[in-house]
Amino acid sequence: MLRLIRTAKGGLKIHTVWDEQLGLPDLINITDAKTHDRYGLENNVFEKGTIFVEDRGYFDFTLMLNRIKAENIFVTRIKENTVYQTLEEIDLPEGKDQDIIKDEIIQLCSPKAQETGICDEKLRLVHVFIEIDGKWRTIEIITNQLDWSARTIADLYKKRWDIELFFKAMKQNLQIKTFVGTSENAVKSQIFVSLISYLLLELIKRFYCDKKTAFSNFCEKVRICLMHYLTLDYICNELKPIVKKVKKPPQKTLFNIDNFSYQTSLPF
């Protein structure tokens, strides 16, 4: 989810489903800033076997139960005030995965959980020690997958940062931090134009580039060459930054050559 807010008033959110296999956004929905993340996407349940990795904004009992019924797999962080009971603690492997503190099977037992009916479902809770913003802390990852290892679940949650890198690339390279117009249609048009540009650039980069290149460097080359009649293959593979060595200065320059004797011998 990307939040864009003006300094005066108003704001919006871009709710995005990131397809890890394609490495591209799969679903986009733009709402006002007041809309909760839970309601940002109309269809939060997908085909059987789909794995969702998301932040705590999507931690919702009804949503989780719907995904269990649809045989989706969710991996998210549990909220700090969530009430649950431990049914079983799973033994951790010795000598590895030292960042995983605890792995347990739980059931949610709060009044809200009983009201929605998710209290009857067994869930997995993995406690992981990670670094966030330069500080080490413990996070609790909840999932309905009971068979995978705790290492797999912890690594899956790390993949959530891929969508943050996508939003970072959008803001840094495709000019969506400031808007030409402030109406709803103008803002949405500029965002969708940026998204289309991102998809086109990714398509060109993946089809033509022989070597792996950073998205920001590729955008810069395309931006510079827009006004020149060059092929895409040349821009992607032949156009490279050239770094030249600084030439060694001559031993004698205009300021240290003795020209006085030569000048005095000139006829006047």
Rounded Cα distance, 239 and 226, in Å: 13
* End-to-end Cα spacing for the chain: 82
Q: pLDDT, tens digit, for every residue of 17-44?
A: 888 888 888 888 888 888 877 777 766 7
Rounded Cα distance, 15 and 42, in Å: 10
SS3 track for 59-108: CCHHHHHHHHHCCCEEEEECCCCCCEEEEEECCCCCCCCCCEEEEEEEEE
Say yes or no to pLDDT of 132 above 80. Answer: no
Which residues have CB under 8 Å from 220's CB, separation 6+?
none
Rounded Cα distance, 138 and 136, in Å: 7
pLDDT score at 146:
93
Q: Any alpha helices (H) in the chain, and if so which ranges?
A: 61-69, 111-116, 150-158, 161-173, 184-208, 215-225, 232-233, 260-264
Mean per-residue pLDDT for 93-109? 89
**Strand 123-132 and strand 11-19: pairing?**
unpaired
Q: What is the mean pLDDT of the chain?
A: 83
Q: Give the tokens for residue 145.
A: 């997958």
Say yes or no to pLDDT of 4 above 70. Answer: no
Which residues have CB under 8 Å from 262's CB, separation 6+?
none
Say yes or no to pLDDT of 8 above 70. Answer: no
Say yes or no to pLDDT of 268 above 60. Answer: no
Say yes or no to pLDDT of 197 above 50. Answer: yes
Say yes or no to pLDDT of 223 above 50. Answer: yes
Q: Which residue has the tokens 């821009």?
A: 235
DSSP 55: -
Say yes or no to pLDDT of 225 above 60. Answer: yes
pLDDT score at 72:
92
Angle (deg, nearest 10), helices 184-208 and 215-225 = 100
pLDDT score at 184:
82
Q: Give the tokens for residue 88.
A: 């079983």
Rounded Cα distance, 211 and 29, in Å: 33
Mean per-residue pLDDT for 150-175? 87
pLDDT score at 198:
92
Rounded Cα distance, 103 and 124, in Å: 7
Mean per-residue pLDDT for 182-195? 86
Mean per-residue pLDDT for 81-92? 92
Measured between alpha carbons, how far is residue 190 from residues 117, 186, 254 in Å? 43, 6, 57
Q: How confident is the model at residue 57 (pLDDT cuts 50, 70, 90)?
A: confident
Domain boundaries, the chain: 2-167, 176-238
Residue 77 in contact with residue 154, Cβ under 8 Å?
no
Q: Is-above-0.85 flag for pTM?
A: no
Q: Which amino acid, residue 157? A: Y
pLDDT score at 5:
47
Say yes or no to pLDDT of 118 above 90. Answer: yes
